[in-house]
Amino acid sequence: MRAYEDWVIKAETKGLKISEVILQNQMEELEQSEQALFQRMNKNLNVMRKSVEVGLSGERRSLSGLVGGDAAKVESHRKKGESLIGEQMSGAIAKALAVVEVNACMGKIVAAPTAGSCGVLPAVLLTVEESLQVSEQEILLALFTAAGLGMIFADRASVSGAEGGCQAEIGSAAAMAAAAAVELAGGSPRQTADAAAIAMKSMLGLVCDPVAGLVEVPCVKRNAIGATIALSAAEMALSGVKSAIPIDEVIDTMAQIGKQMSCALKETAQGGLAVTPTGRRIQADFL
Amino acid sequence: MGKSNVFDLLGPIMVGPSSSHTAGAVRLGAMAKKILGEEPIEGTITLHGSFAKTGKGHGTNLALVAGLLGMSPDDERIPEAPKMAKERGLNFNFETSDLGDVHPNSVKFNLLGVNGGRVQVVGSSIGGGSIVIREINDFQVEIKGDYPTLVVLHQDLPGVVAQVTLLLSTAQINIARMLVSREKRGAQALMVLETDQRIDNAVLGLMRKLPRIDQALVIESLE
């Protein structure tokens, strides 16, 4: 089974970034050139940028009417200089909401790792891009870091809400985004592992309880919170804070918790917020 | 499932909201169209399980029609698909029903094509946008759309399978997977062959001329 630790050690020994180790690994496994892999990743990045832009600009409603317009509210609050938690954090929240609103309104997004968790990674990376001087090439490399860590989640646990609950979707996304943000901010390979572990630890046990079975409530706002957890974890790791439990063990724990979780709490809409009086009413009105 | 790669974790690029209820649904529609082998002009689409229950909010019905119109999962016109179908005079009706012991995200298509062809297809969206076709005209199959696939309706007699595989081997076409099922001994049977190489029309023409072959159809792989 793959382990993130192996990549950290390889990167440290050879003086490489984690993303460079993952890139080499994928060139071998997919038998594709570096250029071809970059081109494919660049398509993802372009769609991510576009989904943020589209989501921040409009006030569309989803088919159910439950979702839409919140990204614009946060962005406008931020632009008035009224942010409580600072420009960057507020911007990350707006961007995450934007992407998932585009998703709920049948717009184009990149599943990262899933459609239900598509807001976290673009929000975090584009927020770091606004704060720090980084090149396009570095952002693409950071996407390889995120995706490479995602592969470990898929191998050792799962990124599906139906299998692991929301911890497997937005939790994985937050860990992937935290590792990518650390690399983008110039952190070490070890620090990417610490950030990922800290982020995932904060998402453990998160249930998947979509109201009326739709990827809307509570999913959209959870993406925004996932983005802030990713940035907080990255900030800690970059400051030298370590995770007491290593990332691979945290991922195994997530898998274990997913198994222990009742099926009612794993995307079946039979537990959690989906069965609150309001959740049931929305479902009845809607179906 | 094999080892994942970076593009399994970042991707697909798709129109939301759900990879199984939307992206997978587009691919199911696209696959049903390929199996019909011509432009569908009329059809009944029966939604089962989670497709029936939460399909509306996920745009599953829009996505299925988009697939029947030949769109891919990242086509931004997916929400417009029913309108586009109407403008082209295509008529697709939706029903919900229990299709029995199948995956919760399943659908049955009853399609009529522009040249008069008819087909009944049952398929499931099995997660992450992946699909599997389970039934064609009441025959059990397993087609995932990742290989070019040859579907042959034939009589259940000795030597028919050998004729077909000989023709493929002569054309230098390698078989990756193969499934034969039949109604009963000596009656009609169905062969499904997934191949590594494309099967061109010349090979298909020869196949159709073979004795005891009732129908042969090539379904190209999804992109």
Taking an 8 Å cut-off on Cβ atoms, the answer to whether A44 and B13 are in contact is yes
Q: Please answer yes or no on whether B8 and A151 come within 8 Å at the CB atom.
A: yes
- What was the pLDDT predicted at B2? 54
Give the minimum alpha-carbon distance from A213 to chain B in angstroms, rounded to a whole number. Answer: 6
Please answer whether residues B104 and B53 qualify as being in contact, where contact means their C-beta atoms are separated by less than 8 angstroms.
no
pLDDT tens per residue, range A162-193: 999 999 999 999 999 999 999 999 999 999 99
What does the alpha-carbon distance between residue B81 and residue B40 come to, in Å, rounded to a whole number? Answer: 14
What mean pLDDT do residues A71-95 have?
96
| Percent of chain A with pLDDT strictly greater than 70 | 100
**Higher-scoring residue by pLDDT: A64, A179:** A179
Pure H helices in chain B: 6-9, 24-36, 49-58, 60-68, 81-87, 160-170, 201-209
Candidates B3, B9, B76: best to mutate against A (most CBs of A within 10 A) is B9
CA A73 – CA A59 distance, rounded (Å): 9
Q: Given an 8 Å threshold on Cβ–Cβ distance, is B57 in contact with A108?
A: no
Question: Across the interface, do A106 and B50 touch by the CB < 8 Å criterion?
Answer: no
Strand-pair category, B91-96 with B40-48: parallel
CA-wise closest residue to A247 among A37, A34, A5 = A5
Please check whether residue B133 is in contact with residue B123, taking contact to mean a CB–CB distance below 8 angstroms. yes
Q: Mean pLDDT score of chain B, rounded to an integer?
A: 94
Q: What average pLDDT score do residues A231-244 get?
A: 98
CA torsion through residues A184, A186, A190, A191, sign: negative
Helix, strand, coil share (%) of chain B residues, nearest 5: 30, 35, 35
Label each residue of A32-87 as H, E or C.
CCHHHHHHHHHHHHHHHHHHHHHHHHCCCCCCCCCCCCHHHHHHHHHHCCCCCCCH
Chain A residue at shortest CA distance from B72: A108
Phi-psi region of A65 (alpha: psi -120 to 50; beta: other; left: phi over 0): left
Whether residue A76 is predicted with pLDDT greater than 80 in this model: the reply is yes
State whether A103 and B16 contact (CB < 8 Å): yes
Q: Which residues of B touch A103 (CB under 8 A)?
A: 16-17
How far from B124 is each of A147, A214, B132, B134, B166, CA to CA, in Å?
27, 19, 5, 7, 32
B17, A106: Cβ pair inside 8 Å?
yes
3-state class (DSSP) for residue B125: strand
Chain A closest CA to B64's CA: distance in Å? 14
Q: How many CB pairs under 8 A join A and B?
A: 133
pLDDT, averaged in runs of 10, over chain B (223 residues): 83 93 96 94 96 92 97 96 97 96 95 96 92 92 92 94 96 94 88 94 94 91 81
Mutation target to probe the A interface, by most A beta carbons within 10 A, among B3, B4, B5, B6 is B6
Cβ distance A205 to A74 under 8 Å? no
Question: pLDDT value at position B222?
Answer: 85
* CB proximity list for B100: less than 8 A, separation 6 or greater: none
Structure-token pair, residue A90: 């507020």
The interface predicted TM-score (ipTM) is 0.95
Confidence label for A64 from pLDDT (cuts 50, 70 and 90): confident
B135: β partners: B122, B140
Distances A103 to A52, A61, A92, A136, B105 between C-alpha atoms, Å = 11, 11, 17, 24, 20
The two structure tokens encoding residue A48: 């991510």
Write out chain A residues lying below 8 Å of B128, CB-based.
Answer: 111, 114, 160
Residue A91 Cα, gap to closest chain B Cα (Å): 22
Closest C-alpha among A112, A132, A116 to residue A49: A112
Q: Tell me how crowded residue B186 is: count the other CB atoms within 10 A of its CB.
A: 10
Tens digit of pLDDT for each residue in A139-165?
999 999 999 999 999 999 999 999 999
E strand or H helix that includes residue B118: strand B118-127
Distance CA B31, CA B121 (A): 9
At residue A274, the pLDDT reads: 97
